[in-house]
Amino acid sequence: MEDKALATNNGNSADIGFEQKIWSAADVLRGNMDAAEYKHVVLGLIFLKYISDKFEERYLELQADNDDVEDKDAYTEKNVFFVPPSARWNVIAEAAHKEEIGSVIDDAMRSIEKENKRLKDILPKTYSRGELDKRRLGNVVDIFSNIKMVDHATGKDILGRAYEYCLGKFAEQEGKRAGEFFTPACVVQTLVEVLKPFKGRIYDPCCGSGGMFVQSAMFVDHHAGNLKDISVFGQDSNPTTWKLALMNLAIHSIEADLGPFNADTFHNDLHPQLKADFIMANPPFNLSDWNDGSLNDDPRWKYGLPPSGNANFAWLQHMIHHLSPVGKIGLVLANGSLSSQSGGEGEIRRKIIEDD
């Protein structure tokens, strides 16, 4: 995969104070862990604090109305995850400086997954492992205990910004490898502004951490649209990245169909009948060995079989195959795709242009 340029500004510079505060607090945890491993620890903890705050907000509403505060349906009807008593933040905060803090967090994650089917097998449960410094973990829990993830004054979930900001910071640290899960916000925003996905089905066949969907939802919201007018579909082959996306979308209250599991888009298309109105993607550049010969007769290659050594035009044709008659595509491809003649790519490109 070619190195995709990573921006240092996630598009949140106007509110960078809060995001930086979250990042600085979480950075206490790092120790000797590398960024690829450390990000799941941090993002999972942020997610846990977020759903705890959202739960508490709904809990207090029910309490004020003298309703049953333990009625699970009263939370799910408001798109709030139900947090069982043993997993609530006060329990975690009380255990912050106990040796078993890691196990307490792991157990909380398991309990939340059990009560919320959308989160089954999604949340990280590795906080009790020996290499994670429990003293530092407890200090971060203390810091998070004093940060409200939901801005009650404006009604906006400020954690969504922090989550995206931290994804960007991890991308900076991981460098080239980060292209698998993160596309710079400036690139995503450009695609969204061009396509203007106000209404219809939105699809990303290599969705990474879900940035295209988040920016699409923000676009609709900023232009006084209705999020109920868009439907979100996607998939990703990397199991860890797929879980990141589900957490990211949950934080932003975006309901999406990312398939029941992670899967290779070429060999296991999880949305075979989908015809999308908007397709936005940043597929891995110049992916080799994507076709072992079993895909040679696939109906998606309307304009010609892409070379097995480079998947650029396989991605493009896959997207065209899933496009509705009035649909639009916005994607990022390697520069060489504009001029390459190898493996029949020039002929494929010519046919696509002539058919447009």
Report DSSP letters for 232-265, one per residue. EEE--S-HHHHHHHHHHHHHTT--EE--SS---T
- State the pLDDT at residue 176: 52
- 164: nearest Cα among 146, 140, 189: 189
Q: Could you tell me which residues are beta bridge partners of residue 231?
A: 201
**Residue 167, exposed/middle/buried by CB under 10 A (0-12, 13-18, 19+)?**
buried
For 331, residues 6+ apart whose C-beta sits below 8 A from its C-beta are 191, 279, 280, 281, 282, 283, 315, 316, 319
Phi, psi of 28 (to 5 degrees): -60, -30
pLDDT (tens digit per residue) in 262-321: 999 999 999 999 999 999 999 988 999 999 999 999 999 999 999 999 999 999 999 999
Instruction: Report the predicted TM-score, pTM, of the whole model to 2 decimal places.
Output: 0.82
Please check the confidence at residue 108 and state whether its pLDDT lies above 50.
Answer: yes
- State the pLDDT at residue 87: 97
From the candidate CATH numbers 3.40.50.150, 2.40.160.210, 1.10.540.10, 1.10.3720.10, the one assigned to the domain spanning 183-355: 3.40.50.150
Please check the confidence at residue 236 and state whether its pLDDT lies above 80.
Answer: yes
CA distance 211 to 23: 19
- State the pLDDT at residue 91: 97
- Asked if 352 contacts 320 with a C-beta cutoff of 8 angstroms, the reply is yes
Q: What is the mean pLDDT of the chain?
A: 86
- State the pLDDT at residue 145: 87
Note whether 13-176 and 183-355 share their fold. Answer: no
Hey, where are the domains in the chain?
A: 13-176, 183-355
pLDDT (tens digit per residue) in 138-171: 988 988 888 766 554 444 456 677 777 777 777 7
Phi, psi of 149 (to 5 degrees): -80, -10
Both tokens of 337, joined, read 């795709």
CA distance 221 to 229: 11
Tell me the fold of 13-176.
Ferritin (1.20.1260)
